[in-house]
Chains A and B, each alone.
Chain A
Amino acid sequence: MQREQTQNVSENPKVSPEHPENPESLESLENKEEISVSFLLTKEDYGAYCVEAVKARIPNRDRMLIRILGAVSILAGFMLAFFLRESPWGFGWTACLELLGLVLLIWYDFILPSYVRASACGYMDRHREQLTSRNFIFTPSRFFYTSDGCSMEIPYQKLHQALESGGMLLLYLGADDPLYLPKRAVSQEELETIRSFLSSSLNEKFHQEGAR
């Protein structure tokens, strides 16, 4: 998928002259290494972001607990099938336990992500006006973000955390308030540079889970 050309942030009509993203401050960044990213949000991006955001909110121990319960339910079903093999209700109880165990096992890996993705895409189908372009400019100490009706200049140290998953880079302004950058919008070299910016500023607050 081709990456859109970066638009000049200073020409963005939403940015006021008093805002830090004025031409004078941008010119001072030209001598430093910076990465400019611009992309048009799609509903698939939004769906992927929602899935990653939901996964990030679930602690690992809860996921393991549900998977263990699923495995226990399946084993209990087999045991019940053995002990109730003479009972007419044995097959029903066994089937219920096996089905419950299967649902619990695949809940966090297939069922929940599918539901979240479908809900998110449905939401964007009803709110297509939100599928607008987003712009990031990453510098060694901070990043700039502009979208329709919003512009920010955020030092990395002010971030709550950053999370890199398989297809998304999430930058959390607060515990439940992330900005997201689809990795399809950046090249591999640019991604490495952004990673270096984030890891040097955030240290342990930058998590990489399943990153490619």
Chain B
Amino acid sequence: MPGFYEGDPFFTGEITLSPKDLAKASLLAQRQKKPASRPWVRGGMLLTASLLFLAVIPYYQAVYNEFWFPLALCLLFLLLAVGAWAVLPRLEEEEEIRRFSTDGFRLEPARVCLYRDSFTLENAFQRFTENWVDFQNCYESREYFIVTGGKNYRLLVLPKAQLSQKQQEEAAFGLQQQFAFRYKKV
């Protein structure tokens, strides 16, 4: 019982994370925290700029008797919108995968125990004890439970594929109890 409160953990599990798991979880958490970094938001803003330049073409033609400049800007922003929607997320994920591939300790098999006020994570080289009060948000997606914040272990990721149905229910219930309105299903 690493925490202040007595009692057994409400969740115990063995997990092994891959760089792709960490990359997807990290990007999901970032995009939840900063909506402007979401692909569809960026793409939408650029598409809006493209439509604005398209709308300016008749006025520009009336004043300058040609329309190539706003048309070029319209096409440029349209291309950027397609890039922000389709290409940039893939590049971001690849960059995150490269970053997490360098951290061998995060990829070690680990045993995670979630308690009422804290959690422990232990692998062959490290042991962390973190209190929930140091974490900001908790997200549940189709693939992961993600907890962001912390002092030493900053991103807790529980892949649902490695948990049984019972473990998933235990984790979901316990984390909802801890994070309340900061628990979000995405």
Contact = CB atoms under 8 A, between A and B. Distances in A.
A206 to B, nearest CB: 16
A153 interface: yes
A174 B106 contact: yes
Interface stretch (B71-79, B86-94, B124-132): B124-132
Interface residues of B, number: 18
Interface string A1-44: 00000000000001110010000000000000000000000000
A158 interface: yes
B7 interface: no
B33 interface: no
B129 A149 contact: yes
A147 B152 contact: yes
B153 to A, nearest CB: 8
Interface in B134-180: 151-153
A154 B125 contact: yes
Contact of A177 (B103, B128, B130): B103
A175 interface: yes
B148 to A, nearest CB: 16
A46 to B, nearest CB: 12
Contact of A176 (B99, B126, B130): B99
A174 B103 CA distance: 4
Contacts of A155: 125
Interface string B87-126: 0000000000001101111100000000000000010011
A153 B125 CA distance: 5
B127 A16 contact: yes
A16 B16 CA distance: 22
A154 B103 CA distance: 12
Contacts of A148: 151-152
Nearest to B104: A158
Interface in A118-165: 130, 147-155, 158, 160
For the complex of A and B, the 9 pairs showing the least CB-CB separation, nearest first, are: A174-B103, A175-B102, A150-B152, A149-B129, A152-B126, A174-B102, A151-B127, A160-B102, A173-B105
Interface of A: 14-16, 19, 130, 147-155, 158, 160, 173-177
17 contacts: A15-B127, A19-B127, A148-B151, A149-B131, A150-B127, A150-B128, A151-B127, A152-B125, A153-B126, A154-B126, A158-B105, A158-B125, A160-B102, A173-B104, A174-B104, A174-B106, A175-B102
